[in-house]
């Protein structure tokens, strides 16, 4: 018998018991649907991470002070005050995989312009900061090397701060006050909307780090060094070089713990996707259990079906069906059942992932390969769980089968 005929015979047999066929396939439908939805959440999260990663620059690195401990008492990461602006300069000079360096400090303050005020974060950064972070200046200019060196009181505003203080009026050249110190606005940043995580790019302002350290914070230590590697592929190399330079500068004995740590964007962005990862594992577990139970359901119904149709098997054998004809007939019924289930499951999965993205506001992405894999997997379930009943049917003795009441 050729394949199309086998499938037609199987479809006809399943069609005689539509309700039962549907219920049998339900396990597979749910299983495949869960697989598709799961993978779509995972893919969506991955895509989001990649997008954020690209936005921020794949070559972006952060150097932060390490944890500090006094007498066995550990403070959190960044608690130590071990980094200086000179460390940044050394990194720039000695690491050939490093392109730009910007020391960074930050704080929160009330900004005042005329009768308006706004509470926001200020970041003291170097002149290469926009290049490192891949940010664009919308209006005006960013502060240059000289402004940073001389510690000028200039600032570049995030779009939300700009909006709140100037309400659409031209901010360039205006003077605003930060902790009573006047700053001249020289530029604004292009809004990109909330990038999530720890920092709202629009609700902030940038000032030279020298100014921030001397005038606002009164410190000689910086809270981080932002670094960009010469290219994405050089990131790892840059990390190693930075570590070497800082260990020498900080006089850390071989084998002793670093008093700083270097992290790249991938580490940070991926941690943001971890909660979704947990859900993905949970859903994946449900999906595989459901597929397994679905498969057992198929086997169960196929066994019942074989018993019910012993007479039919006898008739088919008496007119010349061979063992393999009967085997293929029942096997193809199981496979057709599970593949139809898989087909409906793909639909359920797509609807499910759309619902998840609407309700939980997560990006989901139904990828073609997840559909193909789910489909193949449902076929494999059909073969695996359909084989035993089909084999049982094919091994029947035609005489006994014909006589069976």
Q: What letter does residue 177 receive in the DSSP assignment?
A: E
Q: How many C-beta neighbours within 10 Å does residue 112 have?
A: 16
- Binding-site size, other proteins (CB under 8 A): 22
Angle of helix 85-94 relative to helix 235-249, nearest 10 degrees?
Answer: 130
Token couple for 146: 């000289």
Interaction between residue 184 and other proteins (CB under 8 A): no
- C-beta closer to other proteins: residue 152 or 394: 394
Q: How far is the CB of 305 from other proteins (least distance, A)?
A: 13
Binding string, 16-45, against other proteins, x = CB under 8 A? x-----------------------------
Minimum gap (Å) between residue 335 Cβ and other proteins:
19
- Closest separation in Å from C-beta 14 to other proteins: 13
Structure tokens at 231: 């290219």
State which residue, 6 or 98, has the beta carbon closest to other proteins. 6
Query: CA dist 7 to 108, 215, 326, 337, 340, Å?
Result: 70, 81, 13, 11, 12
268 binds other proteins (CB under 8 A): no
User: Which residues, other chains included, contact 398 with Cβ-Cβ below 8 Å and sequence gap of 6+?
Assistant: 314, 317, 318
Identified binder of other proteins from the candidate list 311, 351, 355, 360, rule CB under 8 A: 311
- Binding range to other proteins, per CB under 8 A, among 18-26, 65-73, 96-104, 320-328: 320-328
Question: Quick check: 367 and 39 in contact, CB under 8 A?
Answer: yes
Stretch that binds other proteins, among 25-33, 179-187, 295-303, 394-402 (CB under 8 A): 394-402
> Applying CB under 8 A, does 11 fall inside the site for other proteins?
no
Question: In this chain, which of 203, 243, 258, 312 binds other proteins, going by CB under 8 A?
Answer: 312
Under the binding rule (CB under 8 A), the answer on residue 240 touching other proteins is no
Smallest separation, CB 327 to other proteins (Å): 11
Residue choice 303, 315, 365, 380 for contact with other proteins (CB under 8 A): 315
d(CA 10, CA 5): 8
- Options 2-10, 176-184, 253-261, 378-386: segment touching other proteins (CB under 8 A): 2-10
Query: CB of 341 within 8 A of CB of 28?
Result: yes
Q: Which of 231, 281, 318, 372 binds other proteins (CB under 8 A)?
A: 318
Question: What CA–CA distance (Å, rounded) separates 232 from 134?
Answer: 13
CB of 391 to other proteins, least distance (A): 14
Q: Which is nearer to other proteins, 240 or 311 (CB)?
A: 311
Residue bearing tokens 């989901």:
364
Query: Is 5 a binder of other proteins (CB under 8 A)?
Result: yes
- Half-sphere exposure (CA, 13 Å, Cβ side) for 242? 33
263 CB-near residues (< 8 Å, 6+ apart): 61, 62, 64
**Residue 323 binds other proteins (CB under 8 A):** yes
Q: 1 or 80, CB closer to other proteins? A: 1
Q: Does 399 bind other proteins (CB under 8 A)?
A: yes
Query: Interface with other proteins includes 304 (CB under 8 A)?
Result: no
Kindly identify the residues of this chain, within the stretch 200-219, that bind other proteins according to CB under 8 A.
none
> 319: how many CB neighbours lie within 10 A of its CB?
8
Does residue 106 contact residue 223 with C-beta atoms inside 8 Å?
A: yes
Among 135, 152, 136, 154, CA closest to 60? 135
Alpha carbon distance 211, 205 (integer Å): 13
9 binds other proteins (CB under 8 A): yes
Q: Which of 74, 149, 324, 358 binds other proteins (CB under 8 A)?
A: 324
Give the C-alpha separation, 275 to 232, whole Å.
Answer: 26
- What are the residues binding other proteins (CB under 8 A)? 1-2, 5, 9, 16, 311-312, 314-325, 398-399, 402
């Amino acid at each position: 018998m050729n394949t199309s005929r086998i499938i037609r015979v199987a479809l006809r047999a399943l069609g005689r018991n539509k309700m039962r066929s549907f219920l049998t396939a339900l396990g597979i439908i749910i299983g495949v649907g869960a697989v598709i939805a799961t993978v779509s959440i995972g893919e969506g999260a991955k895509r989001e991470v990649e997008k954020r990663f690209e936005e921020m620059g794949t070559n972006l690195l952060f150097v932060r002070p390490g944890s500090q401990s006094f007498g066995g008492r550990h403070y959190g990461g960044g608690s130590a005050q071990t980094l200086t602006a000179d460390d940044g300069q050394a990194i720039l000079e000695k690491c050939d995989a490093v392109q730009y360096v910007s020391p960074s400090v930050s704080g929160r303050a009330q900004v005042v312009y005329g009768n308006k005020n706004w509470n926001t974060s200020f970041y003291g950064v170097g002149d290469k900061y926009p290049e490192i972070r891949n940010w664009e200046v919308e209006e005006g200019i960013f502060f240059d090397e000289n402004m940073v060196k001389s510690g000028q009181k200039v600032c570049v505003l995030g779009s939300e701060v700009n909006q709140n203080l100037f309400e659409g009026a031209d901010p360039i050249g205006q003077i605003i006050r930060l902790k009573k110190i006047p700053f001249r606005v020289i530029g604004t940043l292009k809004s990109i909307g909330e990038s999530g995580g720890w920092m709202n790019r629009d609700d902030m302002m940038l000032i030279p780090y020298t100014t921030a350290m001397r005038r606002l914070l009164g410190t000689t230590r910086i809270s981080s060094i932002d670094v960009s590697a010469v290219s994405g592929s050089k990131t790892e190399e840059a990390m190693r070089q930075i570590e070497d330079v800082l260990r020498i500068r900080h006089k850390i004995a071989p084998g002793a713990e670093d008093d700083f740590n270097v992290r790249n964007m991938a580490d940070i962005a991926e941690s943001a996707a971890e909660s979704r990862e947990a859900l993905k594992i949970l859903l994946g577990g449900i999906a595989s259990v459901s597929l397994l139970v679905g498969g057992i359901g198929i086997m169960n119904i196929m066994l019942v079906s074989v018993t019910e149709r012993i007479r039919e098997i006898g008739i088919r054998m008496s007119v010349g069906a061979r063992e393999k004809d009967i085997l293929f007939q029942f096997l193809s019924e199981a496979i057709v059942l599970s593949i139809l289930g898989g087909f409906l499951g793909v639909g359920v999965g797509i609807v499910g992932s759309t619902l998840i993205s609407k309700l939980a506001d997560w990006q989901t992405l139904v990828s073609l390969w997840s559909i193909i894999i789910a489909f193949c997997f449902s076929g494999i379930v059909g073969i695996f769980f359909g084989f035993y009943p089909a084999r049982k049917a094919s091994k029947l003795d035609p005489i006994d089968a014909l006589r069976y009441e």
